[in-house]
Amino acid sequence: MIALKLVTIICEAHARKPLTELLRDVGARGWTAFAVEGNGDKGPRLADIPETANVQLQVIVRPEVAITLLERLEREYFPRYGMIAYASDVQVIRSGKF
């Protein structure tokens, strides 16, 4: 089994498009996304209108890509959008896929 990183990003739905472009930019070969609701320092985000909806993005990448991604998120996106991001360890079977 190969050790990789799962980076999870939870952000406002309007930021989805630029974020997926960032993912491509740092070298991710795929991603998964779904609508979520949430609550945080910027107040409740009920998902009934797109203006206050959140999206959760999940991307599996090699550890060094995870670091680049998190750093760019912190520098470029955190100051602009309400969001959080975190990394965790995952194991996959197919190498070469990520």
Partner 1 sequence: MELFDAVRANLLSPAVLFFALGVLAAVVKSDLRFPEQLYAGLTIYLLVAIGFKGGVAFADAGFAEVWLPAAAAIALGALIPLWSYPILRFWGRMSVVDSAAIAAHYGSVSAVTFIAATNYLTAVGQPFESYASAFLAVMESPAILVGVLLGKRAVPKSGLPALTGSSRQVLHEALFGRSVVLLVGALVVGGLSGAGGMAKVEAFFVTPFQGVLALFLLEMGLVAGRRLGELRKVGVFLLGFGVLMPLVHGFIGVVLGHWTGLSLGGATLLGVLAASASYIAAPAAIRLSLPEANPTLSLTAALAITFPFNLTLGIPYCLAVARWLYTP
* Binding site residues, ligand AMP, CB under 6 A: 10, 28-32, 38-42, 45, 54, 58-60, 82-84, 98
Handedness of CA 82, 46, 17, 86 (dihedral sign): positive
CB of 34 to partner 1, least distance (A): 11
Residue 18 as a binder of a second copy (CB under 8 A): the answer is no
Residue 56 touches a second copy, criterion: CB under 8 A: yes
- How many CB atoms are closer than 10 A to CB 4? 19
Which of 21, 51, 79, 91 is the binder for a second copy (CB under 8 A)? 91
